[in-house]
Amino acid sequence: MAYHSPISTGMKGRCPKCAEGELFKGLLSFNDSCLSCGADFRIEDAGDGPAVFVIFIVGIFIVPLALLFHLKTNAPTWLTFLIWGPIVTLACIGLLRPLRGVMFNLQWVTKAREIRGGDYKS
C-alpha cells in the first residue's frame, strides 16, 4: 500500500488509509467509514486538538492584525469589530476543518488512542 502523508490527506479531507474517500459528510462531521476502502472513521477522537491549534493560529497571526488596524487607524471600536469580527470568524471556521482532518489522519497513522487499563504493567 502506498504511503500517504497524513498532513496532505488531512488537509484535503481525505481518508488516511486510501487517500481517496471523503472524511467529511458535513462541514465538520465525519462519515462513519470510507466510501472508497471501508476504513472505519468511528474511532475518530481528536477531541479539542483542532480547536486549540485554531486558537493559536488565529490568536497569533490574525488578532494582532486587528489590534494593529485599531491602533493605527484610530477607528472606532464598533468599526474594528464590524470589519475584523467576520474575518476572525471565517478564519476559525476555515481552519477548523483541515486541522480536524490532519489531527484524525495523524491519529490514524500513529494508532493513537485513549489509554486503557492494562496498557502499562509495572
- In the complex, which residues of this chain contact Zn ion (CB under 5 A)? 15, 17-18, 21, 34, 36-37, 39
Q: Which three-class secondary structure state does DSSP give residue 50?
A: helix
Q: How many CA atoms lie within 13 A of 25 on its CB side?
A: 9
Report yes or no: 38 and 18 within 8 Å, Cβ to Cβ: no
By beta-carbon proximity to Zn ion, the closer residue of 35 and 57 is 35
Phi–psi pair at 54, nearest 5 degrees:
-60, -45
Minimum distance from residue 101 beta carbon to Zn ion (Å): 13
Q: Which is nearer to Zn ion, 22 or 51 (CB)?
A: 22
Nearer CB in complex with Zn ion: 37/112: 37
Provide DSSP, 41-67.
-TT---TTHHHHHHHHHIIIIIHHHHH
Report, in Å, the least distance between residue 60 CB and Zn ion: 34
Q: How far is the CB of 33 from Zn ion (least distance, A)?
A: 8
Cβ closer to Zn ion: 13 or 50?
A: 13
In the complex, minimum distance from the CB of residue 37 to Zn ion, in angstroms, rounded to a whole number: 3
